[in-house]
Amino acid sequence: MTTTERKEETDSVARMERLNANLARIEELTQRLTAAISARRSHDAALDGPASDVYLKAAASWVAGMMRDPGRMLEQQIGYWGKTLKHYVEANQVLAKGEFKAPSDPFPKDRRFANPLWETHPFFNYLKQQYQLNSEAMTGAVGQMETLSPEDKKRVDYFTKQIVDMFSPTNFLGTNPDALERAVETDGESLVQGLENLVRDIEANSGELMVTLADKEAFTVGGNIATSEGAVVYRNRMFELIQYTPTTDKVHKTPLLIFPPWINKFYIMDLKPQNSLIRWIVDQGFTLFVVSWVNPDASYADVSLDDYIRDGYLRAMAEVRRITGEKQINVTGYCIAGTTLALTLAHLQKAGDKTVKTATFFTTLTDFSDPGEVGVFLDNDFVDGIERQTAQDGILSSLFMQRTFSFLRSNDLIYTPAIKSYMMGEAPPAFDLLYWNGDATNLPARMAVEYLRGLCQQDGFAKGEFPVFGEPVNLGQVQVPLCAIACETDHIAHWKGSFNGIKQMGSKDKTFILSESGHIAGIINPPSKGKYGHWTSAAQPGGTPEAWLAGAEKTPGSWWPRWGAWLAASSGAMVKARAPGGPENPVLCPAPGTYVKPAAAQN
């Protein structure tokens, strides 16, 4: 036996040993997986998907269309059959010539199919093209359902696309060339590591499957993210108030108070120094306060939107005034916190209270007549289920909210990360934004249902019917000067809906800014990046969003400096910089405080 032959035999034995070892690990992991799944707590089935009537309506509409215009329906079906048959024949003709290659591919590029084998290998290319033909046929059939109401059609279209995305061949091991190549290269190690990742995620979420998007060990809140210097200067059951340490000798007289959404934690505005909105605001010479909301447990079950307004908004405003000695303050609300800020401003207007000088709204919906993409989850099938589940749990769990928002971008936030983690065996990346995205919070049961029923479903604020402290308020009562920033591709608070709410507000001084990008990247867009531009118009928000945009001017780069100048014009003269706290508000602890930390770190 030659040296080469002996080496090959030794390598073969070693690879077989590694393979057998991996098989043994798979058996052990399978037992852990079974135990983890068995720990899954039952929950209302309505939270897992739309009610069956969505599909029944779709089927009924398709049959009605077939009966009314069979020719058009048959044309659609025959067209699909013809394309499928043509694709099959072309693939076989290439193979019949003895050429191991794929036929011509007419479909546009899709980043899911980046591996060259999707283009060159006959098997993988055939799967890809047939999947794309199937997808085209399904979405085309939905487009022809004319008897559905606009709302039902939107839901059928959305959930059809979810099904189409789920069945992509990239989502299955046997039809994913990247995963198969990695498994061969690693003698099955990648599959074992992928199973390890899967078991870890299911164990971490009490039997539920949620893909870990970021390395949880790579970041520490207050360590390498959320590091802007400041202090907690007030705390109650609802929030901690953080005052940030000035970085300039003088500051504007009027302080700024930011209310972040309590669906996630505030430090999205303070991830790293180079993209920290909080640090940028302080560097511009503003006295900045930020609310850090508590992450509620079942003991908060009966907390309402009124409680958030009374013990959150009004209390925080009072403490900022006490600490700074100023009669008026500027305020900002982000997403749901912007919605609730608008409710608070309407209440203050009715009460004749002049506490707020100006207001800024980040990606805020107040008119829910068209809730946008997220509206597919606001029908009674989902909301009824949420109401039943929250009555049992006392909270709307962050798990259900994370899953819902992830499905709005399923390829980016579910399937692609799952492929990398479970099929490729890769470790989650050290990505601060995705770490924050996974650090979600719960909602109190009563507040969640009030928001979903009264604001989202019934559009009570825009109709002047939603009560604050028992008295109905309306958008016309929001009369302070305001600036609103919406984001062009926002999938949570779509910009046209935000525009429609702002134009109904009673303020005579409105500035509307449309930023490029989405719900997070469009807001956290530091000038130093020179990345996303924004649109503005000298005209007050009115008419249709499309007409406003047609007359707007686009400016390259971040909207932050434009907003900073707008804010400065309403923030008074420069005064000596203020250190955090005061005689009646001693420093309780350093920023970012305790409420933002994981539950284990708060004890």
Q: Looking at residue 407, what is its pLDDT?
A: 84
Q: Which residue has the higher pLDDT, 316 or 599?
A: 316
pLDDT over 50 at 600, yes or no: no
- DSSP SS3 for 589: strand
Max CA distance (Å), the chain? 98
| 153 confidence band (pLDDT: 50, 70, 90) | confident
Average pLDDT, the chain: 90
Residue 582 bridge partners (DSSP): 585
How do residues 358-391 score in pLDDT, each as one tens digit?
A: 999 999 999 999 999 899 899 999 999 999 999 9
Same domain, 161 and 236: no
Residues 6+ apart with CB under 8 A from 155: 50, 54, 376, 379
Q: Looking at residue 599, what is its pLDDT?
A: 61
Same domain, 355 and 498: yes
Q: 259 burial class (0-12, 13-18, 19+ CB within 10 angstroms)?
A: buried
| 61 confidence band (pLDDT: 50, 70, 90) | low
Pair 211, 247: CB distance under 8 Å: no
CATH of the domain at 362: 3.40.50.1820
Nearest to 369 by CA among 460, 293, 299: 460
| 601 confidence band (pLDDT: 50, 70, 90) | very low
What the block records as the tokens of 548 is 């406003």
CA angle 39, 40, 45 (to 5 degrees): 160
Same domain, 596 and 509: yes
- DSSP SS3 for 569: coil
Nearest to 501 by CA among 364, 330, 378, 374: 364
What the block records as the tokens of 83 is 């394309």
Q: Looking at residue 95, what is its pLDDT?
A: 80
Nearest to 346 by CA among 204, 207, 494, 507: 507
Q: Looking at residue 182, what is its pLDDT?
A: 93
Same domain, 158 and 287: no
Residue 203 covered by a domain: no
DSSP-derived secondary structure letter, 528: G
Same domain, 150 and 238: no
Residues 6+ apart with CB under 8 A from 380: 457
Same domain, 468 and 376: yes
| 602 confidence band (pLDDT: 50, 70, 90) | very low
Residue 441 covered by a domain: yes
Same domain, 447 and 579: yes
pLDDT over 90 at 149, yes or no: no
Pair 299, 483: CB distance under 8 Å: no
How do residues 499-529 score in pLDDT, each as one tens digit?
A: 999 999 999 999 999 999 999 999 999 999 8
Q: Looking at residue 223, what is its pLDDT?
A: 94
Residue 194 covered by a domain: no
Ramachandran area for residue 372 (φ above 0: left; ψ -120 to 50: alpha; else beta): left
Q: Looking at residue 67, what is its pLDDT?
A: 65
Q: Looking at residue 66, what is its pLDDT?
A: 62
Average of per-residue pLDDT across 446-471: 97
152-166, 314-328, 456-470, 495-509 — which is least confidently predicted?
A: 152-166
Residue 509 covered by a domain: yes
**For residue 459, what are the CA distances in angstroms to 119, 338, 582?**
49, 15, 41
Neighbours of 451 (CB within 10 A): 20
φ and ψ at residue 431, rounded to 5 degrees: -125, 115
The count of domains in the chain is: 2
Residue 335 annotated as catalytic: yes
pLDDT over 90 at 16, yes or no: no
| 186 confidence band (pLDDT: 50, 70, 90) | confident
Cα 327 to chain center, whole Å?
36
d(CA 269, CA 358): 20
Q: What sign does the CA torsion over 428, 430, 432, 436 have?
A: positive
Last residue of a domain, one of 154, 171, 188: 171
Average of per-residue pLDDT across 403-424: 89
**For residue 249, what are the CA distances in angstroms to 198, 565, 573, 576?**
52, 19, 13, 6
191-195, 203-207, 439-443, 551-555 — which is least confidently predicted?
A: 203-207
Pairing mode, strands 482-487 and 510-515: parallel
Catalytic position from the list 335, 456, 483, 487 = 335
Residue 3 covered by a domain: no
Average of per-residue pLDDT across 127-143: 90
Average of per-residue pLDDT across 319-347: 98
For 414-569, list the strands marked E by DSSP. 443-444, 466-468, 471-473, 482-487, 510-515, 534-536, 553-555
Domain that holds residue 136: 47-171
Ramachandran area for residue 149 (φ above 0: left; ψ -120 to 50: alpha; else beta): beta
- DSSP SS3 for 275: helix
Place of tokens 């907003």: 563
Last residue of a domain, one of 152, 171, 190: 171
Pair 76, 140: CB distance under 8 Å: yes
11-20, 76-85, 116-125, 149-158 — which is least confidently predicted?
A: 11-20
| 327 confidence band (pLDDT: 50, 70, 90) | very high
Buried b (16+ CB within 10 A) or exposed e, 5-25: eeeeeeeeeeeeeeeeebeeb
The most confident of 15-29, 202-216, 576-590, by mean pLDDT: 576-590
Q: Looking at residue 140, what is its pLDDT?
A: 86
CA angle 478, 483, 488 (to 5 degrees): 115
Same domain, 108 and 245: no
Q: Looking at residue 403, what is its pLDDT?
A: 85
Name residue 247's amino acid: T
Same domain, 457 and 526: yes
Q: Looking at residue 266, what is its pLDDT?
A: 97
Q: Looking at residue 311, what is its pLDDT?
A: 98
Residue 15 covered by a domain: no
Q: Looking at residue 3, what is its pLDDT?
A: 63
Average of per-residue pLDDT across 562-584: 96
Q: 448 burial class (0-12, 13-18, 19+ CB within 10 angstroms)?
A: buried
Same domain, 333 and 477: yes
pLDDT over 50 at 603, yes or no: no
DSSP-derived secondary structure letter, 196: H
Same domain, 257 and 349: yes
Same domain, 149 and 247: no
Q: Looking at residue 117, what is its pLDDT?
A: 94
Residue 1 covered by a domain: no
Q: Looking at residue 11, what is its pLDDT?
A: 66
Q: 350 burial class (0-12, 13-18, 19+ CB within 10 angstroms)?
A: middle
Residue 591 covered by a domain: yes
